Amino acid sequence: MFSKKSIRVNFLIQLSIAMAMLLMFFSTIIYTYINYTVDKRMDEQLFEHANYLFATYPNLEKSLPSQKEILRQTLNIDANIITTDYKAKIETSVIKTKNIYNQYFIEIHIPYQIDRDTKTKKYLSVKTNVTESKELQTGVYKNILIVNIIGMVIIVIYAYFLSSMLLSPINTIKMKLSNMDEHMLKNIDLSSLPNEFYPVAKAINSLTGRIRNYIKYQKELFIGSAHELKTPLAVMKTKNQVTMLKKDLSTQDLKDAIKQNIISIDEMNKAVSSILNFGRQEGAHLEEPQNIDVIEFLKNKMEGFKLLAESQKKNFKYDIKPENLNLNIQPLLLNQIIQNFLQNAFKFTPKNHNIWFNTKLKKDNFIIEVIDEGIGINEEKDLFAPFVRSKESSGVGLGLFLAKSAAEALDANITLKNRNDAKGTIATLILHIK
């Protein structure tokens, strides 16, 4: 994990590099545009001077020697006629030079005349000193460079304060989390955080709540397991002690003691089996989610419960909608919840009464409901806690606890309530479609 300092340094470096590259990119574009515009304007000005000479002096060879000084003072140009070999290529050219005194010149050669008798070509040469313009361009370059340096300093300062501002809520969350342990799992105060960090803090609070519940249920599971195993052991011990204290011990007394021990052992076996089921479910939590058609999966399950209903002389009806729905889900966990819902419904529903299994798609939720005509529940009890069961139940009270744990692993909601007509129970599982 990165330290506070390394996060800030990395952020500063990355932001500074990004901003510097942008600044240099735009500065280069501006400088290139300025140079191109100035150079183009100087070339065009020289051509304008050349056109002026062609228009003003019909015979340049005779006129230019006497007009040199005037042209130098008025137009800042030197104009000459240059003679070259006849075979030289006829073209207009622009020549840029620099002398030993760091002076810059631009010179253009424009074809003027071809003398076939002497086999020579003549060009009009117009030359001007552009040192001032070049110095201006150099000044612009230096100013852009200074602006870039100042901009870099401003960017680093801005990045420093920006990183401090961004890291402050992260450090707040970090401090809150570092001070937590299994005994002090508190929610993060959202009021002290910027709105942008609400989703992160809410997710952490949600995770903290789930960990709190998990630890709570784990403790209750351990305590309940010890209690469930201790009670039958105590009964066995007491029964054996009472039997041994009898003076006239008969065969029937021994049989009664053994029968009681078997009953106690059966009760312990139930508790151990339920604890083993919890361990298996913990392994199911690690199962890789699979993309399955949940509708087809549930319909296949319903056939088995339909046969069970017929054997128990109960009316089992199901309505599974929509036609198909693919979800990325852990099938073992879903199966555990469905089996628990239906097993409880079958257990507490009398003969010739109804059990309904319904599913529906509502917005972004897939809702599964199991409705029975059983004895109902005591809504004041937390039936999802381990080893909590109704008086009529013959189990050890881990079924709904396992279902709740499986639902949390699926990031789903599970509820259990009495029907409005008080003639049974409604068990609901809400799967959130992501």
More reliable by pLDDT, 183 or 146: 146
The pLDDT value recorded for residue 358 is 95
- Under 8 Å between Cβ of 260 and 236: yes
Q: Is 208 helix (H, G, I), strand (E, B) or coil?
A: helix
Least confident of 45-49, 116-120, 349-353: 116-120
Task: Give tens-digit pLDDT for 360-376.
Answer: 999 889 999 999 998 88
Give the CA-trace dihedral at 167, 168, 170, 171, to 10 degrees.
Answer: 110
Is 55 in the same domain as 78?
Answer: yes
Least confident of 186-195, 314-323, 353-362, 409-418: 186-195
Q: Is 90 helix (H, G, I), strand (E, B) or coil?
A: coil
> Among residues 256, 284, 312, which one ends one of the domains?
284
Is 147 in the same domain as 16?
Answer: yes
Query: Can you tell me the mean pLDDT for 255-270?
Result: 80
Indicate whether 191 belongs to any domain. Answer: yes
Is 248 in the same domain as 113?
Answer: no
The pLDDT value recorded for residue 296 is 93
pLDDT for residue 151 is more than 60? yes
Q: If pLDDT is split at 50, 70 and 90, which confidence band does 176 have?
A: low
CA 144/CA 31 separation, integer angstroms: 8
Reading the block at residue 124, the tokens are 């009009």
Q: Write phi, then psi, for 80 (nearest 5 degrees).
A: -145, 160
Indicate whether 327 belongs to any domain. Answer: yes
Indicate whether 171 belongs to any domain. Answer: no
Is 329 in the same domain as 408?
Answer: yes
Distances (CA, A) of 109 to 82, 91, 125, 159, 428: 8, 8, 5, 54, 94
Indicate whether 161 belongs to any domain. Answer: no
Distances (CA, A) of 65 to 10, 51, 55, 382: 70, 18, 17, 115
In 242-374 the beta strands, taken as DSSP E runs, fall at 290-293, 315-320, 326-329, 354-362, 365-372
The pLDDT value recorded for residue 227 is 61
Is 263 in the same domain as 315?
Answer: no
Q: If pLDDT is split at 50, 70 and 90, which confidence band does 2 have?
A: very low
The two most distant CA atoms of the chain are separated, in Å, by 160
The pLDDT value recorded for residue 413 is 92
Task: Give tens-digit pLDDT for 270-327.
Answer: 767 766 666 665 555 556 788 999 999 999 888 888 888 998 999 999 999 999 899 9
Q: Is 293 helix (H, G, I), strand (E, B) or coil?
A: strand
The pLDDT value recorded for residue 231 is 67
Is 246 in the same domain as 333?
Answer: no
> Among residues 284, 307, 330, which one ends one of the domains?
284
112-121, 145-154, 270-279, 370-379, range with greatest mean pLDDT:
370-379
Q: If pLDDT is split at 50, 70 and 90, which confidence band does 254 have?
A: confident
Is 147 in the same domain as 9?
Answer: yes
More reliable by pLDDT, 335 or 277: 335
Least confident of 31-35, 46-50, 159-163, 177-181: 177-181
Is 345 in the same domain as 277?
Answer: no
CA 30/CA 27 separation, integer angstroms: 5
For 134, residues 6+ apart whose C-beta sits below 8 A from its C-beta are 104
CA 116/CA 347 separation, integer angstroms: 123
Indicate whether 15 belongs to any domain. Answer: yes
> Among residues 234, 262, 284, which one ends one of the domains?
284
Percent of the chain surpassing pLDDT 70: 80
Percent of the chain surpassing pLDDT 90: 15
For 397, residues 6+ apart whose C-beta sits below 8 A from its C-beta are 224, 386, 387, 388, 389
Is 361 in the same domain as 424?
Answer: yes
CA 326/CA 291 separation, integer angstroms: 6
Q: Where are the alpha helices (DSSP H) in 285-317?
A: 294-311
Indicate whether 416 belongs to any domain. Answer: yes
Query: Can you tell me the mean pLDDT for 19-37?
Result: 84
The pLDDT value recorded for residue 1 is 42
Is 307 in the same domain as 232?
Answer: no
CA 15/CA 17 separation, integer angstroms: 5
The pLDDT value recorded for residue 355 is 94
Query: Can you tell me the mean pLDDT for 107-131?
Result: 84
- Under 8 Å between Cβ of 361 and 325: yes
Helices 198-245 and 399-409: angle between axes, nearest 10 degrees = 160
Indicate whether 157 belongs to any domain. Answer: no
| Residue 226 CB-density burial (10 A; 0-12 exposed, 13-18 middle, 19+ buried) | exposed
Containing structural domain, residue 198: 183-284
CA angle 91, 97, 98 (to 5 degrees): 175
Reading the block at residue 8, the tokens are 């800030």
- Secondary-structure breakdown of the chain: helix, strand, coil percentages, each rounded to the nearest 5: 60, 20, 25
Is 18 in the same domain as 144?
Answer: yes
Indicate whether 333 belongs to any domain. Answer: yes
Distances (CA, A) of 118 to 123, 203, 284: 15, 95, 105
Is 294 in the same domain as 277?
Answer: no
pLDDT for residue 399 is more than 80? no
Reading the block at residue 20, the tokens are 């510097």
CA 79/CA 71 separation, integer angstroms: 8
Task: Give tens-digit pLDDT for 189-248.
Answer: 777 666 766 777 777 777 777 777 667 766 666 666 666 677 678 777 887 887 888 777
Length of the chain counted residue by residue: 434
- Under 8 Å between Cβ of 95 and 107: yes
The model's pTM is: 0.48
- Please tell me what DSSP assigns to residue 363: T
Q: In the chain, how many domains are there? A: 3
Q: If pLDDT is split at 50, 70 and 90, which confidence band does 187 have?
A: confident
